[in-house]
């Protein structure tokens, strides 16, 4: 039961907003079809891993959901940059985080 609630927190407060943010960044960057497909594969691969971790560690899920919602945790911190499908996306997200810090 608690693991289901933790997974719900991650889905609602982390995965859904990350998908929306990624889509916004890709559109703003006028990304290629290949980059869009890679980002979709990245989210598809990383999402279940985050949900599994949330089920195993509900306190991590709640802290991560709160951290992401409050801006303490960036999406690039939650994605595996060693995954070839996530490398481009992580680079794009980190670049946009630097732009936001400079504005």
- Other residues' Cβ atoms within 10 Å of the Cβ of residue 99: 9
Whether the per-residue pLDDT at 77 is higher than 80: the answer is yes
**CB 74 within 8 Å of CB 100:** no
SS3 of 91, please? helix
Structure-block tokens of residue 41: 């594969």
Residue range 93-97: mean pLDDT, rounded: 75
What's the Cα-to-Cα distance from 35 to each of 18, 25, 44, rounded to whole Å?
16, 11, 14
Summarised one tens digit per residue, pLDDT across range 46-71 is 999 999 999 999 999 989 999 999 98
Summarised one tens digit per residue, pLDDT across range 66-75 is 999 998 988 8
Residue range 26-42: mean pLDDT, rounded: 86
Confidence of residue 95 (pLDDT cuts 50, 70, 90): confident
SS3 of 29, please? coil
């Amino acid at each position: 039961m608690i693991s289901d609630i933790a997974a719900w927190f991650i889905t609602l407060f982390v995965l859904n907003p990350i998908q929306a943010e990624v889509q916004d960044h890709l559109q703003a960057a006028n990304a290629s079809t290949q980059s869009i497909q890679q980002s979709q594969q990245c989210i598809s691969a990383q999402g279940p891993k985050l949900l599994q971790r949330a089920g195993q560690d509900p306190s991590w899920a709640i802290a991560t959901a709160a951290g992401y919602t409050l801006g303490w945790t960036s999406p690039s911190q939650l994605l595996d940059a060693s995954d070839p499908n996530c490398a481009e996306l992580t680079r794009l997200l980190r670049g946009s985080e630097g732009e936001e810090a400079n504005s």
